[in-house]
Structure 1
Amino acid sequence: MTPFGERLRALRRQKGVSQKDMATDIGVSAAYLSALEHGHRGLPSWATIQKILGYFNLIWDDAEDLVALAQASEPRVVVDTSGLSPAATELANLLAARIGDLDEETLKELIQTLVRDRKRQ
């Protein structure tokens, strides 16, 4: 499951609607909505994101947060390290090889480190 899929499922459950009903209301198939929630589909189109924001009446910070989660939820990532330092290539390869073995605490620590670094730039 992706961060976007997890949040989408939580919003849908808070509203008390089924995948089938929500899918019908926003004009997508129930299978597509299920795939989004389970992380089997990548970033939804901007039009679909807008429909989801409208469906849940999300505005301002809540809307920005959901859009950011969608952008950070591509389940099949390709990292091109050509032209970067050897350390960048090593990090990308280690992460690719080990990400499935990392516990949630370690994952959260890595995310926090990278987010802090991005904010400093």
Structure 2
Amino acid sequence: MDFGERLKHLRESKELGVNQLALKSGVNASNISRLENGERKDPTFKTVKKLAKALGVSVSYFADEPSELLAITAKLDKDVPIEELGDIIDYIKK
């Protein structure tokens, strides 16, 4: 199961629509739709973190293969706040 499939499955299991998740997470609804439909496969760590928080899971929920971890962490903004680095390290370890 890839990132988009996991996201959609989790969102639906929480009985949330795309727009509801967008409001709850602060991630644009069209971005969520593109991720779920596989049109976009490279979410930033910031996006993953927002979605995970809104859905009540850890960021590691979304990746089960090292290649997925690398793809997501490679998209890190160069100005990641220091307090987020612990989350990033935990994510990579899992």
Which runs of no fewer than 5 residues in structure 2 stay unpaired?
72-94
Is the contact made by 1:35 and 1:41 (CA closer than 8 Å) also made in structure 2? yes
2:19 match:
20
Is 1:58 equivalent to 2:57 in the alignment?
A: yes
Is the contact made by 2:4 and 2:36 (CA closer than 8 Å) also made in structure 1? yes
Q: Quick one: distance in 1 between partners of 2:49 and 2:62?
A: 10
Is the contact made by 1:9 and 1:37 (CA closer than 8 Å) also made in structure 2? yes
Aligned partner of 1:71: which letter? E
Q: Quick one: distance in 1 between partners of 2:60 and 2:25?
A: 19
2:6 match:
7
After superposition, the C-alpha distances for 1:15-40 in whole angstroms (9 at most, x for unaligned) are 00100110121112211110000010
Q: How does 1:1-121 map to 2 (within 5 A)?
A: 3-59=2-58, 63-68=59-64, 71=68
Number of equivalenced pairs: 69
TM-score w.r.t. the length of structure 1 is 0.49
Aligned partner of 1:20: which letter? N
More helix by share: 1
After superposition, the C-alpha distances for 1:34-62 in whole angstroms (9 at most, x for unaligned) are 00000101211111111111112213xxx
Offset at residue 71 of structure 1 (A): 1.7
User: CA RMSD of the aligned region, Å?
Assistant: 2.3
Q: Which runs of 4+ in 1 moved over 3 A?
A: 67-70
Q: If you compute each CA radius of gyration, which structure gives the higher value, 1 or 2?
A: 1
TM-score w.r.t. the length of structure 2 is 0.62
Which runs of no fewer than 5 residues in structure 1 stay unpaired?
75-121
Identity over aligned pairs, percent: 29
